[in-house]
Amino acid sequence: MMVNKIEFDIINFLIPANKDSLKFVIEGYILNFKKRSNYVNILNELKKHRNYEITVSLEINIPVSVEESLNFVSKVNHLLTFCRGTIINYTGYRIIDEKNNVISEKSQNPISSKYTILELIPHDYIDCTINFVTKGISIFDELDKVFLIRKVVREYAFVRNESAFVNTRGLSICVLIEYIVNSYINYKNKSHLINEEFFNSKLDELKIETKKLLNNVFSPSIKPGKVQAMILKLKDFNRKPFDWKMKKLNEDFKLNLKEKETKDFIFIRDTLAHSGSYPKVKRPFEYWIFLLTLIDKIIVGLFQYDGYYDDLSKGEFYLTQKRINS
């Protein structure tokens, strides 16, 4: 019996009010999203409870194999999650033959996040969504080797959750940005100032000389326990500073980040990490918007998206165009 298509139950994906379906083609796959019959009621429940709901069905053809088609849909869902800021996933699927009979089906408890209205690309901008997904699919595997996209996208959805404590959201963005930056630098093997093996071979000698120096400079006020605590930090001497790493990511992916943005990020990150609170200069919400705008710029740049997205630094739902690769 020949397999013809797969039909998925998709959570939290919205289609514009003036459309009942959305159909586009990517890499030989025909994707056809259709609103559920009670879509309006579902949407009202989604916005009211901010949980997750099955909003649409997705029907795709199978140009290669069922396994590869499932893998392809998972990638599309990850990319749509970036677009919407809410985890897009499926709760189950049905494999259908050429006579429209269900050959097999599977259900699952989906990884999900609370529904958010803070979309990176508003769902009314279908062409922009397709643009992002199309470009993202073409470089997905390349980026996945470096960043492990499923980890990034799940955390990205969490930090856009308006109901979480604003300090927690901010700290999570900082962790996500650090993860992205360090994953890239480690992949490029550029995290150390000098050869790590050579540095480690000299570390014991460095510890001995540093201990002598500390005792000579600070004796008799410094205690042995404090000397040992300082020596334990010697290995960090060979690590490149974070601002250099972020600059490298910025240059290689053409993120268009300004030097001040990096400095402001480090200042906010350090304050959050050490005190659990934002700096006292501005309102916490303003810092969170800055951090959210920063991670949005990074995501847009990593996927080489050249189009419209919602730049929250310009005001909520203000749509601006960023020519990332210009």
Q: Please, which residues bridge with residue 106 across strands?
A: 93
Residue type, 321: Q
Q: Which of 143-152, 177-186, 188-197, 313-322 has the lowest mean pLDDT?
A: 313-322
Phi first, then psi: give them for residue 115, nearest 5 degrees: -65, 140
Token digits for 136? Answer: 């993202």
pLDDT at position 1 is: 59
Token digits for 259? Answer: 């030097």
- Please check the confidence at residue 17 and state whether its pLDDT lies above 50: yes
Residue 5: strand, helix, or coil: strand
- Please check the confidence at residue 87 and state whether its pLDDT lies above 60: yes
- Please check the confidence at residue 322 and state whether its pLDDT lies above 80: no
- Quote the CA–CA distance of 59 and 56 in Å, as a whole number: 10
Give whole-number Cα distances, 256 to 10, 49, 91, 243, in Å: 34, 37, 38, 15
Q: State the chain's mean pLDDT as an integer.
A: 90
Q: What is the tens place of the pLDDT at every residue in 138-179?
A: 999 999 999 999 999 999 998 887 777 889 889 999 999 999
Task: Label residue 326 by pLDDT band (50, 70, 90).
Answer: very low
Q: How many residues comprise the chain?
A: 326
Token digits for 106? Answer: 């599977």
Phi first, then psi: give them for residue 194, nearest 5 degrees: -130, 165
With tokens 């025909």, the residue in question is: 30
Sign of the Cα pseudo-torsion (207, 187, 177, 240, in order): positive
Q: Does this model's pTM top 0.95?
A: no
- Please check the confidence at residue 2 and state whether its pLDDT lies above 90: no
Using DSSP bridges, classify how beta strands 89-97 and 3-11 pair: parallel, antiparallel or unpaired. antiparallel
DSSP string, 176-212: HHHHHHHHHHHHTT--BSS-HHHHHHTHHHHHHHHHH
- Quote the CA–CA distance of 236 and 97 in Å, as a whole number: 59
Q: How far is CA 195 from the centre of its chain?
A: 31
Phi first, then psi: give them for residue 107, nearest 5 degrees: -115, 155
Residue type, 175: V
pLDDT at position 227 is: 87
The ranges assigned to domains in the chain are: 3-159, 196-238
Which parts of 10-65 fold into alpha helices (H)? 39-49
Q: Report the pLDDT averaged over residues 64-69.
A: 88
pLDDT at position 325 is: 39
CB atoms within 10 A of CB 260: 8
Residue 58: strand, helix, or coil: strand
